[in-house]
Amino acid sequence: MTREEVLNIVGICVCMARVDLEFSQDEKHLLHELCKNINVSDKEKAQIKNISGSLSEMVHRVKEEDSKKTLVELLSQVAVTDGFVDDVEENLLVKVMSHCGVDSSTHPYFGDDGLIDAEVVSEDHNNVMDRLKEWASSHPPA
């Protein structure tokens, strides 16, 4: 993953947090934790706010396979963090996964019914954040 891809992923996560027209405190807290774990500088926060293009264009910028995996994991984290996965959140997640070539029928975050399993996602939270902290230690802010 490149630093640029990760900042783009954070921008996509902000879109996910707002897609249901409700930006909850839990979602804000998760995004703050994410930014802290990857050491987002003030300059990079401004970059994230100024990422241009449609959501589709932002997703197209995620090229590397590990970046796509991270995108799906983080979008899932955002979707479940407030305790309720709205249909519009799940639809966005499925569309992003489709674009990234990730099949929900084989992804561990999804149940046999094809729906996101909030418990599995929540249980994986620390693993995702720890992996990002480790990544950030070798990819400092510009």
Kindly state whether residue 142 falls inside one of the protein's structural domains: no
Kindly state whether residue 111 falls inside one of the protein's structural domains: yes
Tokens of 61: 């910028």
Whether residue 70 has pLDDT greater than 90? yes
What's the CA gap between 72 and 99, in Å, rounded? 11
**Please, are residues 71 and 100 in contact by the beta-carbon 8 Å criterion?**
yes
What's the CA gap between 128 and 108, in Å, rounded? 13
- Full domain range(s) for residue 22: 3-137
* CATH label of the domain that carries residue 25: 1.10.3680.10
Write down the pLDDT at residue 127.
Answer: 97
Q: How many helices (H) and strands (E) does the chain have?
A: 8, 0
Verdict on whether the full-model pTM lies above 0.95: no
Counted domains in the chain: 1
What's the CA gap between 101 and 13, in Å, rounded? 18
Whether residue 83 has pLDDT greater than 90? no
